[in-house]
Structure 1
Amino acid sequence: METNEFAVGLDIGTTKIVAIVGRKNAHGKIEIMGVGQSKSLGVHKGIVNNISQTIGSIQAAVSEAEKSAGITIKNVTVGIAGKHIRSLQHSDYIMRDHPDQYITEGDIEQLKNQVKKLVMLPGEEIIHVLPQEYKVDSEGEIQEPVGMHGKRLEANFHVVVGQMGSIRNIARCVKEAGLEMEALTLEPLASSEAVLTQEEKEAGVAIVDIGGGTTDVAIFKDNIIRHTCVIPYGGGIITDDIKEGCSIIENHAEKLKVKFGSAVPELEKDSTYVTIPGLHGRSDKEISLKTLAQIINARVEEILEMVNNELKGYGAYEQKKKLIAGIVLTGGGSNLRHLRQLSNYITGFDARIGYANEYVANDKNQYLKGPEFATSIGLLMESLKIRDKKSVSSKGGEQTHEELEHKETELRTGGIEEATADSSVEKIEKNKPKLTLGQSIMEKVRKFFEEVE
């Protein structure tokens, strides 16, 4: 099987590491070829704090995915989260040399690259530059400027920034696990790819991805990313609270949360108890489900209040910026019973649970239905997009080269003096379109084979 036929998403989470292999079928849906999962060791609140343990966990997940898919994994698209992530709004513009020619993707890339040169705080690095609305000359609120004419191209950007050290640590772990990182994507953006519909993004929606160590938030309105943030609390801190509040070990606390946990104590009966086995011959412990729900509720309310503050900061309660589609809860933490009702109560927005299997064609046993796979499926979708772009770019690169080679041959064989031919070739070189990454790689490969011959 050719490498470009499949893609891989690698979700390096606080609780688990998931590697998911897939490809697009004839109908444009994703066909999952293999999934690998391992317990995440060495990651705390989305940040790597033990390199060797993280490498081991990545290798275990990737090895399992390779076995189930029957392929060898080399390139992966990796997700990033963590409390060090922040976002900002920025406006920038370029003056085009040839306003008589229409705006191309190259002009937009030039504008994006200009934004990437922004001076950040010490130790920070730009992860994403996401255009929101464009302005061509005096005409504003343009969604797609390609094909238009104009001298001044301007845009508002949503810029996502992270700590350079954390980014480098993830890259190092991936590399030392024997893999190549083809892209780094903010996890709430990946999750939104997997669980949000185009209509929701248009109407206005906030995705709240409750993971093990962090809660990631992304807000969309008019099909444009408006705000992103990472809250440094997730399902793990709820488990810690249960452990401390009930004086039990972590393993029992996690099982209690998953099987019997509820976010609303009022919906639990006072008379319902669950028995926890005692340690090494000690007597069993009885825990009231109402008490358990009260412990969970205190922490979940705190997380949702933080989410609500982010929504207020964006202006989600203003008429113009209102989130008509409300909130989509996803991630492993969204499996908590009655979380949707509590979210409705605290934020005032209607909420639903976001399942990641809508774009998956072959999930017959519903294994990937759980919201805990939203990020990994989103990363796989992002990886497939990158493959498609590279495929188109490399084809385009080959055609451009053939056309240029044909022109050069005509110049050399057309009875023109050598000096004239050379100057004409120079002109062609100047007019040669700027190659994309995929095209430049293809060009190098072609030259290498020419030299060998």
Structure 2
Amino acid sequence: MENQEYSVGLDIGTTKIVAIVGRRNEHGKIEIMGAGKAKSLGVHKGIVNNISQTINSIKSAVAEAQNSSGVTIEKVTVGIAGKHIRSLQHSDYIMREHPDQYISEEDIETLKNQVKKLVMLPGEEIIHVLPQEYKVDSEGEIQEPIGMHGKRLEANFHVVVGQMGSIRNIARCVREAGLEMEALTLEPLASSEAVLTKEEKEAGVAIVDIGGGTTDIAIFKDNIIRHTCVIPYGGGIITDDIKEGCSIIEKHAEQLKVKFGSAVPDLEKDSTFVTIPGLHGREDKEISLKTLAQVINARVEEILEMVNTELKAYGAHEQKKKLIAGIVLAGGGSNLNNLRQLANYTTGFDSRIGFANEYVANDKNHHLRGPEYATSIGLLMESLKIRDKKPLSLNEETEEKITENISDNPNQEISSEILEAMKIEEAIEKRRSKLTFGQNLMEKVKKFFDETE
């Protein structure tokens, strides 16, 4: 099987590392070919803090994915998150030299490159520039300015900033695991690709991805990304609270949270207990499910209050910015019982759990559509998009015809078939000059490694 036939998403999370192999079927849906999962031992709050352990975990997940899919994995699209990620809004403009000519993609790129020159804090770098609305001369609220005429081209941008050191660490881990990093994608954007619908993005929606170490938020309105942020708390800190509050080991705390945990104590009975086996002959310990829910509730409420603060900062309660589609909960933390009800109460927005049902055609294991795999599926979808954008190549026969036609008949008109082939080649060259965000970022990372080696 050739590499072009499939793509791979690699989610380097705080609690687990997941590699998913898939391809697009004839109906445009994602067909999952295989998946691998390994415990993440070298990542804390979305940031790599142990290179060798992270490399080993990546190798384990990829090896399992290769065995289950029957293909060799060489390229992967990787997610990036962590508490170092932040976003800001910025407006900028350019004055066009030839206003009589229509606005082109080159003008848009010139404006974007101007934004990329913004001065950031030491160690930070702009990793994503997302245009929102444009303004041409006195005309505002333009979604697509290409083809219009005007002297002044202005736009509002959503700018995502992160620590370049964290990006380099991820790139090194992937490279030393024997893989090529095809692109880097912001994890909340990847999750949104997997679980949000176009209607929700149009109406206004916030995806809240509760992972092991962080909670990632992305807000959409009118099909435009409006706000992104990372809260440095996730399911891991809830497990720590249970461990401390109930005086048990971490393994038992995680099992309690997954099997019996609830975000709303009032829905649990006082008379219901669960028994935890004692360590090395010690007596067993009985824990009330109501007490367990109270410990969980305190931390989950804190996380949801932080989410609410971000929603208010965006202006989600204002009439023009209102999130009509409410909130979509994703990530492993969203599996917590009664979390949706608590989110409704805390934020005042209706919420649902995000599953990748709409985009995944098959799932042999019947669990990869779950909210905990939203980021992995989204990264796979991003990888497939990049593959779809790759330029088509002219076949050898057509290239031969072009060469023969031009060399043997230099003074004759070129046939329509050859002209068409030349047009395709021209289109290919144009496509080659345009890189996605992830590919642009990878160019920077590769340049850094080339300079240091």
> Normalising to structure 2: TM-score of the pair?
0.87
Q: How has the CA–CA distance of structure 1 residues 138 and 302 changed in structure 2, closer, same or farther, with 3 Å as cutoff?
A: same
Instruction: Tell me how many residue pairs correspond in the alignment.
Output: 423
Q: Tell whether the 8 Å contact from 1:77 to 1:183 is kept in structure 2 after alignment.
A: yes
Shift in Å, 1:370: 1.2
The CA RMSD measured in Å over matched residues stands at 2.8
The letter of the residue matching 2:199 is E
Quote the Cα distance in structure 2 between the aligned partners of 1:402 and 1:91: 50
Structure 1 unaligned spans of 5+: 416-431, 442-453
Q: Percent identity?
A: 82
Deviations 1:347-389 (A, max 9, x none): 1110110112320001254221210000000011111111111
Q: How has the CA–CA distance of structure 1 residues 26 and 100 changed in structure 2, closer, same or farther, with 3 Å as cutoff?
A: farther
Name 2:21's counterpart in structure 1.
21
Q: Does 1:438 align with 2:432?
A: yes
Name 1:59's counterpart in structure 2.
59
Quote the Cα distance in structure 1 between the aligned partners of 2:74 and 2:430: 22
Shift in Å, 1:143: 1.1
Name 2:251's counterpart in structure 1.
251
Shift in Å, 1:147: 2.8
Shift in Å, 1:340: 0.4
Map 1:264-413 → 2, pairs under 5 A: 264-363=264-363, 365-390=365-390, 393-395=391-393, 413=410
Quote the Cα distance in structure 2 between the aligned partners of 1:403 and 1:186: 44
Deviations 1:262-282 (A, max 9, x none): 000000000000000000000
User: What secondary structure is seen at the aligned counterpart in 1 of 2:182?
Assistant: strand
User: What secondary structure is seen at the aligned counterpart in 1 of 2:242?
Assistant: helix
Q: Does 1:229 align with 2:223?
A: no
Deviations 1:416-435 (A, max 9, x none): xxxxxxxxxxxxxxxx8994
Q: How has the CA–CA distance of structure 1 residues 194 and 117 changed in structure 2, closer, same or farther, with 3 Å as cutoff?
A: same
Q: How has the CA–CA distance of structure 1 residues 37 and 149 changed in structure 2, closer, same or farther, with 3 Å as cutoff?
A: same
The letter of the residue matching 2:61 is A
Quote the Cα distance in structure 1 between the aligned partners of 2:213 and 2:62: 21
Quote the Cα distance in structure 2 between the aligned partners of 1:308 and 1:185: 25
Shift in Å, 1:437: 6.8
Q: How has the CA–CA distance of structure 1 residues 310 and 23 changed in structure 2, closer, same or farther, with 3 Å as cutoff?
A: same
Name 1:132's counterpart in structure 2.
132
Shift in Å, 1:162: 0.4
Name 1:449's counterpart in structure 2.
none
Q: How has the CA–CA distance of structure 1 residues 215 and 404 changed in structure 2, closer, same or farther, with 3 Å as cutoff?
A: farther
Q: Tell whether the 8 Å contact from 1:214 to 1:233 is kept in structure 2 after alignment.
A: yes
Shift in Å, 1:182: 1.4
Structure 2 unaligned spans of 5+: 413-425, 436-453
User: What secondary structure is seen at the aligned counterpart in 1 of 2:166?
Assistant: helix
Name 1:193's counterpart in structure 2.
193
Deviations 1:197-249 (A, max 9, x none): 11111111110000000000111111111110000000000000000011101
Q: How has the CA–CA distance of structure 1 residues 196 and 263 changed in structure 2, closer, same or farther, with 3 Å as cutoff?
A: same
Shift in Å, 1:440: 9.4
Q: How has the CA–CA distance of structure 1 residues 341 and 18 changed in structure 2, closer, same or farther, with 3 Å as cutoff?
A: same
Shift in Å, 1:135: 1.8
Deviations 1:307-354 (A, max 9, x none): 000011111111111111111111000000000000011111101101
Name 1:71's counterpart in structure 2.
71
Q: How has the CA–CA distance of structure 1 residues 403 and 83 changed in structure 2, closer, same or farther, with 3 Å as cutoff?
A: farther
> Normalising to structure 1: TM-score of the pair?
0.87
Quote the Cα distance in structure 1 between the aligned partners of 2:70 and 2:149: 50
